[in-house]
């Protein structure tokens, strides 16, 4: 889905990374316009940002270049979303009191849509009580804030204040929700394909990338939920998502069972292996010879069915990835596993697994199937989570 994104660059060293962010947003199909302060020009050039955004950059110098149109108001009308990245302590302070003394603050004051703040600065400036109060004030006013990460700062030491990695900022922008529709909800999500060990260097796996489950976790967090993601994947997540890394079905089951009692919604998006090798060798297995090798496999417990059988207040959501007879197979799973909702999708060449988009059908007991047409997994995730809210109601 094409978004009109305004990127507002202010004068911090992290500005040198913004061209790569702009390029990634354009590559993802968005239209981007950049606005920068004079202070930002010390760290990144206007020509670079104009080239990667494929549009002129708005600055204090050229704001009135076309007297027939008011540039900052026109841009505010054009934008769907505004992102201040990096946001300095100075610009944050100005925004908190509603100042409009340059093209960045003026345009943002004229914009009433979703506004995202990505602060990056020295640790002491970030921890300063006045900066914290300014950020809290902006949050109350509806700004969404991606807090700085802890890591190596330009000053040469490790501390809080670092701009989060670009994939995390891209995730923040892609998952933003207009309404915090899951505030107060605790959500558990599993994601990725499990790896069942044969020996220290080999495993039985599957094609699940974890993108759908990770999108569900990030969107739920962006919608205000408290989220635990139990995953075999290492995809970017929002800082407020608690990530529990696991490898095989047994570890996933242990982590799910520890988390399940305290959640309101459990979504099993992981592709859990149905079987594991009976024996896991502690050394690399040697070639067996021309007769071939037979691996003995034992069945894994069905985590989703266990949740369905033991749920008390939780809404339990399963997935069904099928290559054929989608609705019949998925409906049978819904009943057998006692799920409250089943997300059915086709998998196969170019479909479902390891793709940026998905098309799914939602099945709930005694309800007509709801088909969600092909869309980015983040969009599908938001639709699934809103549907879960309806199932709860």
The residues assigned a catalytic role are 206
Q: Which is nearer to ligand CTP, 45 or 280 (CB)?
A: 280
Task: Count CA atoms within 13 Å of residue 202 on its CB side.
Answer: 13
Helix (H, G, I), strand (E, B) or coil at 133: helix
Helix (H, G, I), strand (E, B) or coil at 242: strand
d(CA 184, CA 91): 31
d(CA 68, CA 375): 39
d(CA 290, CA 43): 63
Q: Which helix (H) or strand (E) holds 229?
A: strand 226-231
Position among 12, 192, 318, 352 found at the interface with ligand CTP (CB under 6 A): 318
Q: Which is nearer to ligand CTP, 11 or 192 (CB)?
A: 192
Residue 103 interacts with ligand CTP (CB under 6 A): yes or no: no
Per CB under 6 A, contacts with ligand CTP among 232-251 are: 249
Residue 347 interacts with ligand CTP (CB under 6 A): yes or no: no
Position among 46, 196, 226, 302 found at the interface with ligand CTP (CB under 6 A): 302
Residue 270 interacts with ligand CTP (CB under 6 A): yes or no: yes
Stretch of 278-286, 287-295, 316-324, 360-368 contacting ligand CTP, by CB under 6 A? 316-324
For 257, phi and psi rounded to 5 degrees? -65, -30
Position among 85, 87, 227, 272 found at the interface with ligand CTP (CB under 6 A): 272
Q: Which has the closest alpha carbon to 229: 269, 274, 169?
A: 269
Residue 207 interacts with ligand CTP (CB under 6 A): yes or no: no
Q: How would DSSP label each residue in 20-78?
A: HHHHHHHHTT-EEEEEE-TGGGGTS-HHHHHHHHTSPPB-TTTTTSSTTS-HHHHHHHH
Position among 120, 333, 361, 377 found at the interface with ligand CTP (CB under 6 A): 333
Asked whether the beta carbons of 271 and 208 are under 8 A apart, the reply is: yes
Q: Which has the closest alpha carbon to 338: 289, 372, 305?
A: 305
Q: Which is nearer to ligand CTP, 346 or 392 (CB)?
A: 346
Stretch of 26-34, 106-114, 224-232, 298-306 contacting ligand CTP, by CB under 6 A? 298-306
Residue 276 CB, shortest distance to ligand CTP, in Å, is 10
Stretch of 29-37, 75-83, 95-103, 267-275 contacting ligand CTP, by CB under 6 A? 267-275
Binding footprint of ligand CTP on the chain (CB under 6 A) = 249, 268, 270, 272, 274, 300, 302-304, 318-321, 333
């Amino acid at each position: 889905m094409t978004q009109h994104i305004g990127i507002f660059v202010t004068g911090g060293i992290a500005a040198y990374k913004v061209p790569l962010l702009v390029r990634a947003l354009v590559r993802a199909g968005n239209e981007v316009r950049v606005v920068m302060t004079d202070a930002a020009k010390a760290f990144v050039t206007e020509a670079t940002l104009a080239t990667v955004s494929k549009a002129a950059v708005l600055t204090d110098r050229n704001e009135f270049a076309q007297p027939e149109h008011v540039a900052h108001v026109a841009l505010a009308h054009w934008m769907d979303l505004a992102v201040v990245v990096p946001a300095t302590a100075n610009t944050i302070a100005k925004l908190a009191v509603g100042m409009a003394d340059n093209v960045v603050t003026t345009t943002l004051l004229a914009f009433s849509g979703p506004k995202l703040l990505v602060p990056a600065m020295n640790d002491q400036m970030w921890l300063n009580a006045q900066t914290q109060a300014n950020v809290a004030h902006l949050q109350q006013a509806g700004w969404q804030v991606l807090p700085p990460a802890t890591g190596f700062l330009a000053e040469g030491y490790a501390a809080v204040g670092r701009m989060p990695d670009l994939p995390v900022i891209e995730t923040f922008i892609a998952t933003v929700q207009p309404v915090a529709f899951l505030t107060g909800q605790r959500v558990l999500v599993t994601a990725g394909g499990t790896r069942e060990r044969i020996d220290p260097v080999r495993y039985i796996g599957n094609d699940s990338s974890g993108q759908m489950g990770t999108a569900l976790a990030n969107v739920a967090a962006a919608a205000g939920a408290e989220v635990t993601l139990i995953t075999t994947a290492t995809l970017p997540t929002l800082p407020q998502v608690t990530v529990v890394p696991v490898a095989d079905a047994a570890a996933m089951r242990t982590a799910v069972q520890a988390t399940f009692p305290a959640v309101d919604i459990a979504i099993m998006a992981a592709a859990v292996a149905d079987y594991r090798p009976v024996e896991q060798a502690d050394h690399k297995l040697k070639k067996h010879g021309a007769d071939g090798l037979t691996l003995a496999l034992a069945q894994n417990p069905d985590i989703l069915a266990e949740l369905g059988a033991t749920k008390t207040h939780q809404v339990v959501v399963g997935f069904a990835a099928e290559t054929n007879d989608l609705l019949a197979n998925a409906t049978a799973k819904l009943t057998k596993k006692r799920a409250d909702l089943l997300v059915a999708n086709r998998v196969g060449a170019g479909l479902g697994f390891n793709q940026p988009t998905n098309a799914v059908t939602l099945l709930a007991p005694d309800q007509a199937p709801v088909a969600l047409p092909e869309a980015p997994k983040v969009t599908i995730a938001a639709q699934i989570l809103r549907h879960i809210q309806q199932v709860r109601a």
